[in-house]
């Protein structure tokens, strides 16, 4: 039986890299191939209509693979061919994952996204905030994935505005929890519509007897779980629903032992709902919060801890709610399917990238020798910035030196090159993938960037694409 023959369609600048990649893929996945180079410099600028006008399919080809950026209606193109035409990945260096069926190549698994951990997001020191600040923060948390808004009271208690604030949030459609030990504040908040109280223990548990809502139970002495079972027993007698929080301690103040107490409570009470206040770690450790949140959510998912309390006070944790929302989906899928939380969703890979592809020096040399126009192509690999056009190929570790060698006179062009080289330099420092005219990727924090090329007039775009 003959091998499948695939035609890889590309532009002139990607030809050399694609030929190397296709040769390697053909050996590994056992197919034959052709590389079809259309009269356009940048493959990402292809459109279905352009391909339809210029593509001549070699004889014997069974399938045509277009660059993933060739977006639009392929129906006319497909109807005029007798072979399968499909879009590959947007970057040719994603072809291996695409052929291997890696979920990252084709997107997340179809059943990805479910979760079972509830996010309780605390607004701290609410008595000190204006009505608009409370509503704005609550909306931001909800948009990021929070299920309940926790109204954080001041330690001294005695806040007379708690009922009105809770009622205001309820009227705006938010589910509300109250964070206070003060029985007066707790009762007023519940009258205003709070559905969860954080927290009760031996000193204030009597307030729970008359409440028509769920409460969070904490130990009288977190280090020994002292008083916890007594409070739980009374709440059972009073028919008050509750979830248990053994209290996680900051690192250096009993963190490891406190994790053990969560394990102990789950061992003793396998079916009791639990909560973990993960802000004690994310807010109190000098480290970006995404990895911390992901790790703690993994612990909670394994232990069937059904809710977490977090906040966004310290700057390095100011996107914690969204991080927890992403993490709870990642960990739920991984644990429920018995797979690693890897190559499923890289939205929490913020500082570096999941994959960093390089063309290699041989390909860069070939590209530099093939360029016939004045437009600069910039790359970041091998610890260096590479800038090339028809007039030469400059490379090095110092972007200022490279820029001086380019001798650019036009101010707008100079700004563009400086901007791109700054992104390239950041990519080199952090080990990220740099692609000219595209945003550096910062996981879920990435802001889409309109490329310099796309901002040009149609006439200029046509000229650059075809020269």
Residue 356 lies inside a defined structural domain of this protein? no
220-246 residues labelled b (16+ CB within 10 A) or e (exposed): eebeebebbeebbebbeeeebebbbbb
Number of domains in the chain: 3
The domain that contains 228 carries what CATH number? 3.20.20.20
Residue with tokens 């008359």: 210
Distance CA 16, CA 366 (A): 7
Q: Are 273 and 196 in contact (CB under 8 A)?
A: no
Instruction: With residue 259 as reference, give the H or E element that holds it.
Output: helix 255-268
Residue 189 shares a structural domain with residue 307: yes
Residue 99 lies inside a defined structural domain of this protein? yes
Residue 354 lies inside a defined structural domain of this protein? no
Residue 439 shares a structural domain with residue 403: yes
Residue 130 lies inside a defined structural domain of this protein? yes
Residue 122 lies inside a defined structural domain of this protein? yes
Residue 101 shares a structural domain with residue 128: no
Residue 212 shares a structural domain with residue 98: no
**pLDDT for 12-59, tens place per residue?**
777 878 888 899 899 999 999 999 998 887 777 788 888 888 888 888
CB atoms within 10 A of CB 372: 9
Residue 286 shares a structural domain with residue 368: no
**pLDDT for 347-396, tens place per residue?**
999 999 988 878 888 888 888 888 888 889 999 999 999 999 999 999 99
Give the domain range for residue 154: 118-337
Residue 420 shares a structural domain with residue 312: no
- Of the chain, the end-to-end C-alpha distance in Å amounts to 42
Higher pLDDT, 99 or 257: 257
Residue 226 shares a structural domain with residue 289: yes
Q: Which of 304, 337, 370 is the last residue of a domain?
A: 337
Distance CA 248, CA 144 (A): 24
- Residue-averaged pLDDT of the chain: 90
**pLDDT for 418-462, tens place per residue?**
999 999 999 999 999 998 888 999 999 998 876 655 555 444 444
Residue 333 shares a structural domain with residue 367: no
**pLDDT for 110-127, tens place per residue?**
789 999 999 999 999 999
107-122 residues labelled b (16+ CB within 10 A) or e (exposed): eeeeeeeebebbbbbb
Higher pLDDT, 98 or 203: 203
Residue 306 shares a structural domain with residue 273: yes
Residue 54 lies inside a defined structural domain of this protein? yes
**By three-state DSSP, how is residue 196 classified?**
strand
Residue 63 shares a structural domain with residue 157: no
Residue 300 lies inside a defined structural domain of this protein? yes
Residue 188 shares a structural domain with residue 84: no
Instruction: With residue 120 as reference, give the H or E element that holds it.
Output: strand 118-123
Q: Which of 337, 371, 397 is the last residue of a domain?
A: 337
DSSP code at position 347: T
Q: pTM of the entire structure?
A: 0.83
Residue 112 lies inside a defined structural domain of this protein? no
Omega before 199 within 30 of 0, i.e. cis:
yes
Distance CA 160, CA 151 (A): 13
Q: Which of 44, 79, 106 is the last residue of a domain?
A: 106
Residue 179 shares a structural domain with residue 266: yes
**pLDDT for 158-176, tens place per residue?**
999 999 999 999 999 999 9
Distance CA 427, CA 213 (A): 51
Phi, psi (rounded to 5 degrees) for 5: -115, 120
Distance CA 127, CA 151 (A): 9
């Amino acid at each position: 039986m003959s091998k499948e023959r695939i035609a890889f369609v590309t532009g002139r600048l990607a030809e050399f890299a694609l030929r190397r990649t296709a040769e390697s893929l053909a050996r590994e996945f056992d197919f034959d191939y052709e590389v079809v180079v259309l009269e356009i410099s940048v493959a990402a600028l292809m459109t279905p209509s352009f391909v339809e006008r210029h593509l001549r399919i070699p004889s014997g080809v069974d399938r045509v693979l277009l660059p993933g950026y060739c977006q639009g209606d392929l129906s006319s193109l497909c109807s005029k061919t007798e072979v399968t035409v499909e879009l590959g990945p947007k970057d040719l260096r994603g072809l291996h994952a695409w052929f291997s069926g890696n979920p990252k190549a084709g997107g997340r698994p179809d059943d990805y996204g479910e979760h079972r951990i509830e996010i309780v997001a605390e607004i701290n020191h609410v008595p000190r905030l204006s009505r608009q600040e409370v509503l704005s923060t609550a909306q931001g948390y909800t948009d990021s994935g929070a299920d309940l808004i926790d109204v954080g009271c001041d330690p001294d208690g005695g806040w007379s505005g708690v009922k009105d604030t809770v009622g205001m949030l309820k009227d705006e459609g938010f589910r509300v929890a109250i964070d206070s030990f003060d029985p007066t504040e707790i009762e007023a908040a519940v009258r205003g519509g709070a559905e969860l109280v954080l927290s009760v223990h031996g000193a204030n548990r009597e307030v729970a007897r008359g409440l028509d809502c769920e409460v969070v139970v904490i130990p009288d002495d977190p280090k020994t779980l002292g008083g916890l079972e007594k409070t739980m027993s009374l709440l059972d007698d009073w028919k008050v629903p509750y979830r248990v929080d053994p209290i996680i301690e900051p690192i250096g103040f009993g963190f490891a032992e406190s994790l053990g107490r969560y394990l102990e409570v789950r061992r003793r009470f396998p079916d009791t709902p639990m909560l973990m206040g993960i802000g004690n770690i994310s807010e109190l450790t000098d480290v970006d919060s995404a990895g911390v949140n992901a790790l703690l959510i993994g612990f909670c998912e394994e232990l069937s801890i059904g809710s977490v309390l977090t906040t966004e006070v310290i700057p390095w944790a100011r996107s914690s709610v969204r991080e927890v929302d992403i993490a709870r989906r990642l960990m739920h899928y991984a644990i429920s399917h018995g797979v690693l939380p890897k190559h499923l969703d890289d939205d929490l890979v913020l500082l570096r990238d999941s994959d960093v592809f390089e063309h290699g020096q041989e390909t860069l040399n070939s590209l530099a020798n093939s360029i016939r126009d004045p437009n600069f192509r910039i790359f970041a690999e091998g610890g260096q910035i590479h800038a090339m056009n028809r007039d030469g190929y400059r490379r090095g570790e110092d972007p200022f030196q490279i820029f001086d060698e380019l001798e650019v006179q036009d101010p707008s062009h100079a700004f563009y090159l400086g901007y791109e080289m700054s992104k390239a330099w950041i990519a080199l420092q952090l080990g990220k993938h740099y692609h000219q005219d595209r945003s550096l990727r910062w996981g879920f924090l990435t802001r889409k960037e309109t490329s310099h090329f796309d901002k040009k007039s149609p006439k200029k775009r046509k000229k650059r694409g075809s020269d």
